[in-house]
Amino acid sequence: MLKRNTLKLIAVSALSAGAVAILAACSPDAAKLRGVDITGADYARDFQLTDHNGQVRSLQDFRGKVVVVFFGFTQCPDVCPTSMQELAEVKQQLGADADRLQGIFITVDPERDQLGMLKAYMGNFDPTFLALRPTPEQLPALAKDFKIYYKKVEGKTPTSYSMDHSAGSYLYDPAGRLRVYHRYGSGVAALTDDVRTLLLPAR
């Protein structure tokens, strides 16, 4: 079952990325970016969500940094922890520029993922990464704006359900502009290269 769900998540992510790949030809950095170049996309431009410390956050808070946004949930068995661990490795690869990367994890399971749980979850990867929790009322509109998929998969008990969801990462440049989409499984090297590219001074 887990293998089937993982394949489904990858397929959903690939479809999402493919829908915007046509934008890549319009970007001056297309030849340098290893993910899907979505520069100029008219969606996923911002958020107003509570972080695991209880503070309302938006992209404006992270100006000057490359922001990597991933949607998932804390009880995800494989895709989510793998993605967050890879992002932590990217930060290590950046060396002196490590502080210019901001990892953001947005839960698609606000019913179970309360703030304390999200804070503990981020502690498994990097203490500077932030988890954001949309309310159950905010989540549908947020998912529509970011063009991500999520669906509850019922379990044997009311609290043992799982969540199918898109498995990819959005990259924003230091000016807060959406630039790149990385499919799940792109790897640490490709993600590191694109973060470094986005950190270069604007030409």
CB neighbours of 102 closer than 8 A, spacing ≥ 6?
62, 65, 66, 67, 68, 128, 129, 130
In contact, 178 and 44? CB cutoff 8 Å:
yes
pLDDT value, residue 3:
45
The C-alpha atoms of residue 116 and residue 54 are separated, in whole angstroms, by: 10
Burial of 25 (0-12, 13-18, 19+ CB in 10 A): exposed
Any binding-site annotation on 26? no
pLDDT value, residue 202:
64
pLDDT value, residue 201:
85
What are the structural domain ranges in the chain?
2-199
Structure tokens at 54: 């209880």
pLDDT value, residue 14:
45
**Residue 64 neighbours by CB distance under 10 Å:** 11
- Give the pLDDT of the chain (203 residues) as one tens digit per residue: 444 454 455 444 544 544 444 444 454 444 489 999 999 999 999 999 999 999 999 999 999 999 999 999 999 999 999 999 999 999 999 999 999 999 999 999 999 999 999 999 999 999 999 999 999 999 999 999 999 999 999 999 988 999 999 999 999 999 999 999 999 999 999 999 999 999 998 64
Burial of 82 (0-12, 13-18, 19+ CB in 10 A): middle
Nearest to 198 by CA among 96, 67, 11: 67
**CATH class of the domain whose range is 2-199:** alpha beta
Q: Which amino acid is at 47?
A: F
